[in-house]
Amino acid sequence: MKPFTYERAATPEQAVSSYAARPGARYLAGGTNLVDLMKLGVERPEHLIDVSGLPLDRVEHTVDGGLRVGAAVRNSDLAAHPAVRRDHPVLSQALLAGASGQLRNAATTGGNLLQRTRCPYFQDTSVPCNKREPGSGCSALHGSHRDMAVLGHSDDCVATHPSDMAVALAALDAEVELLGPEGRRTVPAADFHRLPGDDPHQDTVLRPGELIVSVTVPPPPAGARSAYRKARERASYAFALASVAVVLARAQDGTVRHVALAFGGLAHRPWRARTAEELLTGAPLTTEACSRAVEAELAAARPLSGNAFKVSLARSLAVHMLTALAEGGADGTSPQRA
């Protein structure tokens, strides 16, 4: 491992100031992804700023009934929080679908959003990867790409984003609060991650030195239900082949009053299904309507030779979740509030 220097930040402002003063710096929280990448030689920071001790480890209620989640809140604590389980089960389910119990005990809210792709070519420094070394090429494009993107990818990168939590946050219209050298700003969670384009090494819209300080989840729409479903190779500790987060509320006449749908495992970022949402809003929620809406969303898919199955898998997941929630719960369970 390459030698590096280390410091513990006492305040968010100190962390940002230290980052600006130290070229090659990285923020360190739970370390469940960054440390692994350092061992592989993918990440080679010259200076680590430990932000795990900052006072950002609380879940607080906002004045409008939402939740403000500190960036240092552990994934396991957030999944088990009573307000999250009661009001936003889609978020709790997504968190519990990710990684293992041991990793969830260490991983943080901010770190979960910032985890990097698990593309094997990105993690192997002996092969070309535009995300790791811009301009070197994309080995996955003509290599093993069964787990790669079918939406929003480019000739420069076909990697997918691994987070389950980020998919739920995109469907919940959450916002990410950032602190940087230029002050504070907020970014919608659905827009926090980037599509690859011709510069896939930039995973997010973060500016140099910016630190995630919190995530704000608005109150759920009245009468809404929500759920998360993930298809993977094995029952635990596996990344999504495809996943879907749904938040649904219907009017008294049965038509859709509010719907939010986001896919995971299909793109370089959580994929908010705006086309499907527009088609479903105001319409009766029938299986046929759900199928047409999801088909319209996935019409933009450009599967590679080895992962076309992801399109039909995502379609089935989305239609099943929408109809299950409309009938009172996900997978036949009792109704759940959003």
Position 331 confidence tier, pLDDT thresholds 50, 70, 90: very low
Q: What is the pLDDT of residues 73-115, one digit of tens each?
A: 999 999 999 999 999 999 999 999 998 999 999 999 999 999 9
The answer to whether 261 touches 273, Cβ cutoff 8 Å, is yes
The answer to whether 263 touches 164, Cβ cutoff 8 Å, is no
Neighbours of 58 (CB within 10 A): 12
State both tokens at 20: 């600006």
The answer to whether 145 touches 307, Cβ cutoff 8 Å, is yes
Please state whether beta strands 59-61 and 67-70 pair in parallel, antiparallel, or not at all (unpaired): antiparallel
Mean pLDDT value across residues 293-297: 98
Please state whether beta strands 47-50 and 25-28 pair in parallel, antiparallel, or not at all (unpaired): parallel
Distance CA 211, CA 166 (A): 17
Q: For 32-46, give one letter per residue: b (16+ CB within 10 A) or e.
A: bbbeebbeeebbebe
pTM of this structure: 0.95
Q: What is the pLDDT of residues 229-282, one digit of tens each?
A: 999 998 888 999 999 999 999 999 999 999 999 999 999 999 999 999 999 999
Which of 73-82, 188-197, 297-306, 325-334 is the least confident region? 325-334
Structural domains in the chain, sorted by start? 5-52 (3.30.43.10), 225-330 (3.30.390.50)
* Nearest residue to 16 via CA among 204, 174, 207, 188: 207
Position 200 confidence tier, pLDDT thresholds 50, 70, 90: very high
Average pLDDT of the chain, as a whole number = 95
- Whether the pLDDT of residue 336 is over 50: the answer is no
The answer to whether 263 touches 301, Cβ cutoff 8 Å, is no
Please measure the distance between the N-terminal and C-terminal CA atoms of the chain and give it in whole angstroms.
45
- Radius of gyration of the chain from Cα atoms? 20
